[in-house]
Amino acid sequence: MLNTLAIVGVGLLGGSIALAARERKLAHRIIGISRHPETLQIAQQRGMIDVGSVEWNEELSEAQLAIVCTPVDTIAELSLKLLRQYPQLIVTDVGSTKETILEAISREPKLAERFIGGHPLAGSEKSGPEHAMADLFQDRLLFITPSATSTAAATELVTRFWQTLGSQTIAMEAKKHDAIMAMISHMPCLASFALAGAIPAEYLQYSGTGLRSMCRLAGGDATMWSAIVRENRMHLLESIGKLQDGLMDLKQAIMAGDDVALQRLLEAGRRTYHALGS
């Protein structure tokens, strides 16, 4: 499909895209860009990339598609640079937030023609190319957030790329995407950090599978999460507020000994559990 695919940032997501693209023969050649030589070394050892580089070079002039897989707060700037420097390149990303990225890139409508935001609902609390998996995107949702000026051809290329990787694509406005993500992804992750941080260390020896399940997301990269928090600040504060309201309602029902209210609150949670189809 592609002659050359460029992955900028070869971590868990970038590495998994490379592995998946290889397996599905989506590109003749995959080039990896990373600031960390040791990352490129792992990526090359695992056969993810054909060539790795710590700087941008003429290899990128051959690429049709670049996927920016760096921390969210670096994506807009890197993407604009790529779009400016390589006029043939279609650029997409895998950032967990979309609104500030799209806003920044849309300030240059001509460059924004070749930019399509992307966000795979896939990941892991692990990071680094050593944990990359070829099937990470299989049967997962993938949000596509085009800019106001994105060309149909660019949108089509990025959409088909992800569909070939096994993802189910959904086009959505960036702001709506961020509001949804704050609620179903970013707030739950911060709640996991807060809950994990509240447990006294001396109690951990008695922990069961329940606590482990609630603390799993707190294994995520704190630097990555700080960046997501900054980018999705307003929606996130609102979502944390909803959780705080829920805890306050529970507490009041418990203090008042109000079994009917307690039961109603628990049943609301149970409905969500069942709707998730677990």
Subset of 226-255 contacting its own copies (CB under 8 A): 226, 229-230, 233, 236-237, 239-251, 254-255
Phi and psi at residue 221, in whole multiples of 5°? -70, 115
The verdict on 118 binding its own copies (CB under 8 A) reads: no
- 110 or 274: whose CB is closer to its own copies? 274
The verdict on 46 binding its own copies (CB under 8 A) reads: no
Subset of 257-276 contacting its own copies (CB under 8 A): 257, 259, 262-263, 265-276
The verdict on 191 binding its own copies (CB under 8 A) reads: yes
Distances (CA, A) of 164 to 10, 16, 70, 157: 20, 14, 22, 11
The verdict on 206 binding its own copies (CB under 8 A) reads: yes
The verdict on 190 binding its own copies (CB under 8 A) reads: yes
Among the listed residues 56, 57, 39, the one whose alpha carbon sits nearest the alpha carbon of residue 48 = 39
CB of 89 to its own copies, least distance (A): 29
Q: Would you say 201 and 166 are in contact if contact means Cβ atoms under 8 Å apart?
A: no
Subset of 60-89 contacting its own copies (CB under 8 A): none
The verdict on 148 binding its own copies (CB under 8 A) reads: no
Tokens (6 digits) for 133: 């998996």
How many positions of this chain bind its own copies (CB under 8 A)?
83
What count of Cα atoms within 13 Å lies in the side-chain half-sphere of residue 8? Answer: 28
- 88 or 168: whose CB is closer to its own copies? 168
Give CA–CA dist 22/25, Å, rounded: 5
- 87 or 200: whose CB is closer to its own copies? 200
Distances (CA, A) of 240 to 191, 220, 230: 8, 18, 14
CB of 277 to its own copies, least distance (A): 9
Q: Which of 26, 111, 215, 235 lies at the binding interface for its own copies (CB under 8 A)?
A: 215
Among the listed residues 103, 95, 186, the one whose alpha carbon sits nearest the alpha carbon of residue 147 = 103
